[in-house]
Structure 1
Amino acid sequence: MRKANKRITDFSILIELLNASPVGHLGTVGRDGWPMIKPLNFAWHEGRIYFHCALEGEKLDDIRHDERVCFEVDLPIAYVKGIPDNPCRAEYLYRSVIVRGRARFVTEPAEKVLALDALMRKYEPGVSFAPYREEKLAITGIVRIDVEEMVGKEELGKGEVRDRALALLASGQSLPAVLE
């Protein structure tokens, strides 16, 4: 990362970001050599990223072609308005995580259930859909990303703006906000 002061060094913040972000973006490389990005729901569990999918399709074809993937999530925090005589002072405050790893198809029923449970805890907390029926497990694709590198970046502004951005993050209120 070019600007070290923007790197998130606290691993717990990266995990919070992965757990809080409802949508991630999977980057793959297709057989034609072109990169492809797909938004998807996902869950972080014990150092891995899981997502469910159909048993066939473009992203699975890409993974079969090259298991190396990139995965990104971001959290917009606030838009800071520019000042009237200098609109270029406007900026967006955010946090993001980029993961590089290898995607693997999960075939073991126990790991499929583990992944589905992790997804349900994230998207439907307090609701249990287990036990998963065997016929549903057979028609549900699960992919695991084994993380090899994870880098976080943030732009939280400076001075009073940074203080306000950190207060927004701590407040739990709906983001993004507009700061003047």
Structure 2
Amino acid sequence: MRKQNKKIIDSAVIINLLDTCPVGRLGTVGADGWPMVKPLNFAYREGRIYFHCALQGEKLDDIRRDPRVCFEVDLPIAYVKGAPDNPCRAEYLYRSVIIRGRAVIVEDRGEQIAALDALMRKYQPEGGYGPYPEEKLALTGIVRIDIEDLSGKEELGKDGMRERALQLMAEEAPLPVVFE
């Protein structure tokens, strides 16, 4: 990371982002050699990323061909308008995590169910989803990303703006918030 002052050094902040960001972006290498990025739901569990998918398709084809992946999540916090006489002073406040690792198609039924449980707890925390019917499990692919490199980055502004950005995150304010 070029600007070390933007690095998130508190692992609890990174884990919180992985636990709360609703969408992650998976980067794979496509069959034609071009990078492919796909948004998806995911869960962070025991130091790994999990997501579900169909048993066939571009994601799994890419992973079977080359398991190296990149995964990204970000939390937009606020947009800061530039001054009328200097629009280049505009900036976006955010937190983000980038992961590099290897994707593995999970075959173990116990790990598959644990991954689905983690996904359901994240996206339907009130419960009510019951056991998974075997016929549905048979149609569902589960992929695990074994993390090899993880880095977090943030831009929260300076001084009072930083304090306000942290307050907005604590309040879980709806986005986007515009600072003038």
Which category describes the TM-score, using the shorter chain as reference length?
over 0.9
Deviation per CA, 1:69-117, whole angstroms, max 9, x where unpaired? 0000001000011112211111110000000111000111111110110
Aligned-pair CA distance for 1:162: 1.3
TM-score, with length taken from structure 1: 0.97
Corresponding letter in the other structure for 1:178: V
Aligned-pair CA distance for 1:41: 0.5
Name the residue aligned to 1:176.
Answer: 176
Work out the number of aligned pairs and report it: 180
Q: 1:106 to 1:130 in 2, by over 3 A?
A: farther
Name the residue aligned to 2:3.
Answer: 3
Name the residue aligned to 1:126.
Answer: 126
Name the residue aligned to 2:25.
Answer: 25
Distance in 1 between residues matched to 2:104 and 2:130, nearest whole Å: 23
Name the residue aligned to 1:59.
Answer: 59
Distance in 2 between residues matched to 1:18 and 1:29, nearest whole Å: 23
Name the residue aligned to 1:149.
Answer: 149
Q: Which runs of 4+ in 1 moved over 4 A?
A: none
Gaps of 5+ in 1: none
Asked whether the equivalents of residues 95 and 155 of structure 1 are also in contact (C-alpha less than 8 Å), the reply is yes
Name the residue aligned to 2:78.
Answer: 78
Give the percent of matched residue pairs that are identical in Structure 1 and Structure 2: 70
After alignment, is 127-136 or 14-23 more displaced?
127-136
SS of equivalent to 1:131: coil
TM-score, with length taken from structure 2: 0.97
SS of equivalent to 2:13: helix
Corresponding letter in the other structure for 2:105: F
Asked whether the equivalents of residues 120 and 128 of structure 1 are also in contact (C-alpha less than 8 Å), the reply is no
* Root-mean-square deviation (Å): 1.0
Aligned-pair CA distance for 1:175: 2.6
Distance in 1 between residues matched to 2:130 and 2:63, nearest whole Å: 28
SS of equivalent to 2:27: strand
Corresponding letter in the other structure for 2:79: Y
Aligned-pair CA distance for 1:164: 1.3
Name the residue aligned to 2:35.
Answer: 35
Aligned-pair CA distance for 1:128: 3.4
SS of equivalent to 1:173: coil
Distance in 1 between residues matched to 2:150 and 2:110, nearest whole Å: 26
Corresponding letter in the other structure for 1:21: C
Aligned-pair CA distance for 1:173: 1.7
Corresponding letter in the other structure for 1:42: F
Asked whether the equivalents of residues 106 and 112 of structure 1 are also in contact (C-alpha less than 8 Å), the reply is yes
